[in-house]
Amino acid sequence: MKCIKRLLLLLVALQSSICFAQTGKVLTEYVVVNGDTFPAIGFDPYVVKGKREFATKKKEAAYDKLVYRVQKAYPIAKKAGVKYQNIQDSLKNLPERERKERMKKLEDELYKEYEPQIKKMSLQTGKILLKLIDRETGQNSYNVVKDLRGSFRAVFYQGFAKMFGANLKTEYDPDNDQEDKMIEEIIGKIERGEK
């Protein structure tokens, strides 16, 4: 039955043209099929998946920990991505000296804002945060620091991170990394309001 509905929708889409009409202050989408007009209603895509099954209780517990860690780190990474883009836009036309002063001030503000949350994070949650910052900004954390604060500061932070088993150059790659793939799945659930 589902296949028949999809086929009918596909045929209607191929034989029709989607149009928009202004009705009052509302822009309404409609479809014209063989001279007949039908309202077109769009829905957001919805992913249907079965409950994840685990081979052992240990793997299930590890997945639950990953969910918890992503839930802690994702909001911070999301805000960081937005702030990074805003910073990039505001610093484009500034001279180097003003840019450095502004970056120092922004670093202090960010430190004050996020220090309490980050101090409470475990090392593993921090590693996930580094990956999620890469996901949100399109650059690994090392390049973000290098871009905003310079090479010396980036090398210093990288060395400090390495002492604790982390790596600022970690990249987010859900296509090739199984953990990143699970993180992407968890983020999808968070954005759909499932977790």
Task: Note the pLDDT of residue 22.
Answer: 45
- Name the least confident of 3-7, 82-86, 90-94, 155-159: 3-7
Predicted confidence (pLDDT) per residue in 85-123, tens digit: 887 777 777 887 888 788 778 777 777 887 888 888 888
Task: Note the pLDDT of residue 195.
Answer: 64
What is the pairing mode between strands 26-33 and 36-39?
A: antiparallel
Q: 40 or 82: whose pLDDT is higher?
A: 82
How far apart, in whole angstroms, are the C-alpha atoms of residue 140 and residue 134? 4
Give the confidence band of 44 by pLDDT, cuts at 50, 70, 90. Answer: low
Task: Note the pLDDT of residue 5.
Answer: 52
Task: Note the pLDDT of residue 9.
Answer: 52
Give the confidence band of 48 by pLDDT, cuts at 50, 70, 90. Answer: low
So where are the chain's domains?
2-39, 57-191
Q: Rounded to an integer, what is the distance from CA 165 to the centroid of its chain?
A: 24
Quick check: 28 pLDDT over 80? no
Q: 174 or 32: whose pLDDT is higher?
A: 174
Query: Mean pLDDT score of the chain, rounded to an integer?
Result: 78
Percent of the chain's residues with pLDDT above 70? 78
- Name the least confident of 25-29, 44-48, 162-166: 25-29
Token pair, residue 125, equals 């949650």
Task: Note the pLDDT of residue 7.
Answer: 44
